[in-house]
């Protein structure tokens, strides 16, 4: 205790034990401090994590709100588009309904006009009848025919959709059923016409316009339904799919009746016999003579014979042959027995000096053997018949051939259509021959039509056909062609040509070589003999079956690469437009090649058969004894093997 009011001081004494305690306390405080700092750091991390999560959630919520807004906008636009489409559809439907109502109104007006005309015609008829009976002094009521007013709705003839013949038959049946007087048929029919038919009706004079038979004949002629057209229909008619036999017979009878009517013949034995003889007479003539005779429209065979005689006289004066088709008569160098004997086998009495050439007017030879004609035509090759003639050789392989240059596809060429020079185009994508309408005379139309689909493949059209005479670098003859008003050229040459005798041929892609082929008399006689097979080519090729060919393809080591490519389906490019690949069909190995000119498939030939293929292409009837490059082209078109160009 302190005295005197002075503060008390506590005096402590440190001992070794108290220092240790102090250290322990310091360490405890240090650990506590570390833990506190660690805790604070974790709390900071958690706060930061929570903050980032909150930010992420806010961003996601914002994106969701934006997506929802965008979806609402899109939905609103879709709804607006749907409303617009519905509005347009409703407007279109209203327009269609208004158009339909307008058409119905016009049809009702036309029907009312027809009814008015019928009533007016009946009144005029009654007045005329009353006038005639008044002149005769007989009462009108005694013989006046009763008129039954009808409300028959006559159809309108659409020349783009309706067949005129069928329309006229339907009209005549309606007129007969309604018991109309034939004197009113023409006026009633006129109310059903429009377009070209109405133009023709307006062009007729008053008498023809009132005569139903005259109007009917004029309409049939306007739409190329002539006597010749019905004759062709009768001769070329086939039973249609689903057509009953009695329907087919009725159609044939209709064609026959129309043929007789349009030929202005009666159903008498003499007229029918004259009609049949006329048909046979015209079929025996050359096409140019047929055209000449038909232009003069002979009524009988005697008139036709007179016009044929006129044509023959004119041709004789001009130095050209005329008359029947080749092989029948005329100075063609092939008429009569080929061996110089008559039908009984006796020697003919005429000599070579009795014949005269129609080209140079000299005696002793005919036109086809004229050296002057051959010299004038040097460098030009004409196909001299209405068909493609194959060239053959009687030699074997060890013979020298004249080399020729490789062919190139030339689509444009000069042609002659009915003697008129024009522009031709070889179109490998077309299936038929198309001619410009301005080059076809009216008498050349066959009366038939064919459905044609154009290149865009979106529409099909019914086009008329006609018989024309053409001269082209690919073929020459009288053919049946499709007529178009505005084709891309004067004569479009497709892949097939139909001659007037009914024969259809494939049109070659390349032109004939520009050389003259001199035809000797012995060769002309051999043309009519059957072709003999060439023993060299046959022996080299052998009898190859598909199984034998497939086995040889699989075992030939030179075809290892094509076999691998066929398995993998690899496509190889050749140049800018060509590509090829190997494939198998029915165990046989093929090479498929295509370029801008087309595509074709080649048989892959094993080594053991290659010599036979080259021999066949060289001098068989397929090859025509060709040169090296020409033989390569012929082989390449159908066959392939590695190194083909070198081998050929």
Q: What is the pTM of this model?
A: 0.30
Q: Please state the rounded mean pLDDT for residues 424-432.
A: 85
The most confident of the ranges 65-79, 273-287, 407-421, 560-574 is 65-79
Q: Which residue has the higher pLDDT, 3 or 347?
A: 3
What pLDDT, on a 0 to 100 scale, did the predictor assign at position 522? Answer: 42
What pLDDT, on a 0 to 100 scale, did the predictor assign at position 384? Answer: 34
Q: Please state the rounded mean pLDDT for residues 463-467.
A: 90
143, 624, 83, 171: which is closest to 401 by C-alpha?
624
Q: Which residue has the higher pLDDT, 511 or 305?
A: 305
Q: Is the pLDDT of residue 101 over 80?
A: yes
Which residues are 465's β-sheet partners?
482
What pLDDT, on a 0 to 100 scale, did the predictor assign at position 363? Answer: 67
What pLDDT, on a 0 to 100 scale, did the predictor assign at position 632? Answer: 57
**Hey, is 397 helix, strand or coil?**
coil
Q: Is the pLDDT of residue 313 over 70?
A: yes
Confidence of residue 419 (pLDDT cuts 50, 70, 90): confident
What CA–CA distances, in Å, run from 27 to 15, 31, 35, 37, 515?
Answer: 19, 6, 12, 15, 123
Select the CATH number that applies to the domain covering 412-509 from these four: 3.40.50.2000, 3.90.1560.10, 2.40.70.10, 3.90.1150.10: 2.40.70.10
297, 237, 236, 290: which is closest to 263 by C-alpha?
297
330, 320, 324: which is closest to 308 by C-alpha?
324
DSSP conformational letter for 347: B
Confidence of residue 70 (pLDDT cuts 50, 70, 90): very high
Q: Please state the rounded mean pLDDT for residues 524-551.
A: 55
Per residue in 431-444, pLDDT tens?
Answer: 889 999 989 988 78
Q: Is the pLDDT of residue 614 over 60?
A: yes
Per residue in 346-391, pLDDT tens?
Answer: 434 344 445 667 666 666 676 667 766 655 543 333 333 333 333 3
What pLDDT, on a 0 to 100 scale, did the predictor assign at position 46? Answer: 92
CB 552 within 8 A of CB 588: no
Distance CA 340, CA 351 (A): 10
375, 504, 475: which is closest to 415 by C-alpha?
475
Q: Please state the rounded mean pLDDT for residues 441-461.
A: 73
What pLDDT, on a 0 to 100 scale, did the predictor assign at position 633? Answer: 59
The most confident of the ranges 4-13, 248-257, 620-629 is 248-257
The most confident of the ranges 229-238, 332-341, 451-460, 588-597 is 229-238
What pLDDT, on a 0 to 100 scale, did the predictor assign at position 51? Answer: 92
Average pLDDT, the chain: 74
């Amino acid at each position: 205790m302190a005295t005197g009011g002075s503060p008390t001081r506590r005096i402590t004494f440190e001992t070794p034990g108290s220092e240790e305690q102090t250290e322990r306390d310091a360490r405890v405080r240090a650990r506590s401090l570390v833990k506190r700092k660690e805790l604070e750091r974790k709390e900071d991390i958690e706060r930061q994590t929570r903050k980032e999560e909150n930010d992420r959630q806010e961003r996601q919520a914002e994106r969701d709100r934006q997506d929802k807004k965008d979806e609402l906008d899109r939905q609103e636009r879709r709804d607006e588009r749907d409303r617009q489409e519905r509005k347009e559809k409703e407007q279109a439907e209203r327009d269609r309904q208004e158009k339909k109502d307008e058409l119905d109104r016009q049809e009702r007006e036309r029907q009312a006009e027809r009814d008015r005309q019928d009533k007016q015609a009946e009144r005029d008829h009654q007045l005329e009848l009353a006038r005639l009976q008044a002149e005769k002094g007989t009462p009108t009521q005694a013989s006046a025919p009763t008129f039954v007013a009808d409300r028959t709705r006559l159809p309108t003839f659409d020349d783009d959709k309706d067949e005129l013949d069928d329309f006229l038959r339907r009209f005549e049946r309606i007129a007969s059923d309604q018991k109309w007087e034939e004197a009113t048929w023409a006026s009633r029919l006129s109310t059903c016409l429009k377009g070209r038919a109405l133009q023709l009706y307006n062009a007729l004079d008053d008498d023809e316009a009132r005569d139903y038979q005259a109007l009917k004949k004029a309409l049939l002629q306007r739409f190329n339904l002539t006597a010749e057209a019905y004759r062709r229909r009768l001769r070329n008619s086939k039973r249609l799919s689903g057509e009953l036999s009695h329907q087919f017979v009725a159609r044939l009878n209709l064609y026959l009746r129309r043929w007789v009517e349009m030929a202005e013949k009666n159903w008498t034995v003499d007229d029918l016999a004259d009609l049949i003889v006329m048909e046979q007479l015209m079929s025996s003539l050359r096409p140019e003579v047929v055209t000449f005779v038909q232009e003069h429209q002979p009524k009988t065979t005697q008139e036709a014979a007179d016009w044929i005689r006129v044509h023959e006289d004119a041709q004789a004066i001009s130095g050209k042959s005329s008359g029947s088709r080749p092989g029948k008569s005329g100075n063609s160098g092939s008429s009569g027995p080929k061996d110089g004997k008559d039908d009984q086998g006796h020697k003919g009495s005429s000599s070579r000096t009795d014949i005269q050439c129609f080209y140079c007017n000299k005696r002793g030879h005919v036109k086809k053997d004229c050296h002057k004609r051959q010299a004038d035509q040097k460098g030009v090759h004409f196909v001299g018949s209405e068909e493609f003639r194959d060239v053959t050789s009687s030699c074997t392989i060890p013979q020298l051939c004249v080399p020729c240059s490789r062919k190139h596809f030339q689509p444009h060429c000069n042609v002659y259509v009915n003697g008129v020079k024009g522009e031709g185009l070889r179109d490998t994508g077309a299936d038929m021959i198309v001619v410009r309408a301005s080059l076809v005379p009216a008498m050349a139309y066959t009366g038939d039509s064919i459905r044609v689909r154009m290149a865009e493949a979106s529409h099909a059209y019914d086009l008329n056909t006609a018989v024309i005479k053409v001269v082209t670098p690919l073929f020459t003859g009288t053919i049946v062609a499709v007529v178009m008003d505005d084709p891309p050229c004067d004569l479009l040459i497709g892949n097939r040509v139909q001659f007037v005798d009914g024969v259809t041929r494939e049109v070659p892609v390349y032109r004939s070589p520009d050389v003259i082929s001199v035809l000797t008399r012995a060769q002309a006689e051999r043309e009519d003999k059957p072709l003999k097979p060439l023993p060299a080519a046959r022996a080299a090729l052998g009898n190859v079956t598909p199984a034998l060919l497939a086995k040889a393809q699989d075992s030939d080591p030179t075809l290892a690469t094509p076999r691998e490519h066929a398995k993998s389906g690899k496509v190889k490019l050749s140049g800018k437009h060509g590509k090829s690949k190997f494939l198998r069909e029915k165990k046989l190995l093929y090479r498929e090649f295509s370029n801008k000119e087309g595509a074709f498939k080649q048989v892959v030939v094993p080594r053991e058969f290659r010599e036979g293929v080259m021999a066949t292409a060289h001098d068989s009837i397929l090859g025509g004894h060709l040169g090296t490059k020409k033989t390569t082209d012929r082989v390449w078109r159908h066959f392939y093997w590695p190194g083909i160009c070198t081998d050929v």
